[in-house]
Amino acid sequence: MQISIFTGGKSPLMSKELRKKIEKVIKTEDIMQLQLQFFARNILKKYVYDQKIRKKYLYTILKDEKIQTLLKEGKLEDAKVYVNEWIKTI
């Protein structure tokens, strides 16, 4: 994940300070969710051709409580297995 902060040369110091604030907000499970979304999206692209439907499924994965719990526990691989099994049912 990359986030860019650009002040147009007005304040490189503020760019650095804002970056530090953003880094404090982004949690490990956010990064794992990003990885899980990438994983799920690639699988869904093979089976679901309509982008709007894929988006709906990806939101379902994003909001799923079991997935959120697995990611908070650092269990990305278990979350991938869960998502893979769930996709097989749609």
Secondary structure, 3-state, 59-89:
HHHHHCHHHHHHHHCCCHHHHHHHHHHHHHC
Q: Looking at residue 2, what is its pLDDT? A: 84
Tokens of 4: 């860019």
* pLDDT above 90 (res 4): no
Distance, CA of 12 to CA of 34 (rounded, Å): 28
Q: What does DSSP assign to residue 89? A: T
Single-letter amino acid, residue 59: Y
- pTM of the predicted model, to two decimals? 0.86
* pLDDT above 90 (res 1): no
pLDDT in tens, 53-64: 999 999 999 999
Question: What count of residues does the chain have?
Answer: 90
pLDDT in tens, 38-79: 999 999 999 999 999 999 999 999 999 999 999 999 999 999
Q: Looking at residue 29, what is its pLDDT? A: 96
